[in-house]
Structure 1
Amino acid sequence: MQEKQSATATEMAQVETIIGRILQVGVVLSAIVMGIGLVIFLVTGDSGYAGHTVPLTMAAILVGSWQLKSYAIMMLGTYCLILTPVLRVVVSIYAFYKERDHLYVAITTAVLIILMIALAIGLTGK
């Protein structure tokens, strides 16, 4: 019994380390991507779009990033920052499942569903 609790505690410590690393990498990655977009904007002095137009859909952001448009790259960095805590919620669901804590699996899954609905509303603009 003691061995099983020790193994579970060790596994949970590893999951917590992974969650922390996900948050660190997500923030650093998004900062790097936003920084690249900012440097491109400062060097070219152009957003890559006519007037006050900005990319609002994920498709436009990805296409604009591929074309090295500074605003699209900065928006991509923003989406990376937004998706970082979402990934943390997904990993938390796994951690609670491994602990066999069904109440927290249900609660965290509900939080994930709410986040996905909010992201969908934000992407569609409706």
Structure 2
Amino acid sequence: MLGQDDAACCAPMVREPLGEDAAAELSRMFKALSDPIRLRLLSLIASHEGGEACVCDLTGPFDVSQPTISHHLKVLREAGLVGSERRGTWVYYWVLPEALVKLSALLEIPAMSARTPA
């Protein structure tokens, strides 16, 4: 069952204002994505074959150390954007679809309310 903040979280902000809890959750997600490395990591994970990527596959495209990549992945995980699982010595990551749904729904502009410049 959706709470008031859950419903407001998933509705476009042009329809109704965000509740305090939804705003806090979404701001953590947007803050995590405001870093170019984290945005690229999310894109790499989402576009990786099978929808998940080993951390060993994510270090090559960046000019930063493996511990830095791990830090950025931790930020994405704590923001609720990716899930992870240790398999042997490696950690695998995948994008959490519900997080992308929340972000995209918030920014959606319904056709009827879209304004055109005068």
Say yes or no: TM over 0.5: no
Report the TM-score, using the length of structure 2 for normalisation: 0.33
TM superposition score normalised by structure 1 = 0.31
